[in-house]
Amino acid sequence: MRKQFTDKVALVTGAGTGIGRASAQALAQVGARVIVADVAAEGGEETLRLIKDADGEATFVQTDVSKAVEVEELIRQTIRIYGHLDYAVNNAGIAGEEAGTISHSEEGWDRVLAINLKGVWLSMRYEIPEMLKQGGAIVNLSSFAGLRGSGGTVAYTASKHGVVGLTKAVALEFARQNIRVNALCPGFVHTPMLQRIFETHPGVQGQLAERSPVGRIAKPEEIAQAVIWLCSDASSFITGACLPVDGGLTAC
């Protein structure tokens, strides 16, 4: 049986762990050829192995999305290997410091904004010229923190709000050129990023689950299914949307 994304090419940044890995695996499962991009070679290579072990097709390209020259090379390699680009999941991001406005370091602020926001812009800057040739769909990863305030993580919150605004602006810019641009705003998801918080703050896992209206933390695979839908023709009339996938968290 023909898979939904056969003959399609998908790029996932930050694909070495968490939502990025789950998204890369899900795209491969529906037939896409996947470029796995991550700054960490070990994680990226492991995602590549998992996809190939499941009979999927993928290539790993080590990339720091905060550096234009590396993002440009990532897209160059994508086209060299697979010939075109249909889908992009701009997921790479970091949590940064747990700090408020006064206590946050300037260096930490710059690093979070460079990866979480500038990295998404740079990715689209080089992805879109290739998509203009045949159309495409872009999914940017924001957060529930991009839709509401979140005390104590000022740079992260600012960066994720920025992704929401950037997504809307780019969606409008290319709406009539067969490129759809949407964002996902996950709630609490059991990823290595969140696991590190659990390890340094005992008891917080239960507290976060309790805060969720559905009473639990999401699995990365649940966010990946929303990625698949936003890339697919099933969402063909959706662009500029910033979709909460948060178990009702932002409905509170």
CATH of the domain at 14: 3.40.50.720
Q: Which domain holds residue 170?
A: 9-191+220-240
pTM for this model (two decimals):
0.95
What's the total number of domains in the chain? Answer: 1
pLDDT at 1 over 50: no
In a domain, 252, yes or no: no
Per-residue pLDDT of 7-28, as tens digits, reads 999 999 999 999 999 999 999 9
For position 190, what pLDDT does the model report? 87
Question: Strands 136-141 and 33-38, how do they pair?
Answer: unpaired
Residues with catalytic roles: 156
Task: Give yes or no for a contact between 166 and 120, defined as CB atoms under 8 angstroms apart.
Answer: yes
In a domain, 245, yes or no: no
In a domain, 173, yes or no: yes
Percent of all residues in the chain with a pLDDT value above 70, rounded to a whole number = 99
Of 7-11, 37-41, 203-207, least confident by mean pLDDT is 203-207
In a domain, 200, yes or no: no
Average pLDDT, the chain: 95
Per-residue pLDDT of 117-165, as tens digits, reads 999 999 999 999 999 999 999 999 999 999 998 778 999 999 999 999 9
In a domain, 212, yes or no: no
In a domain, 63, yes or no: yes
In a domain, 198, yes or no: no
In a domain, 211, yes or no: no
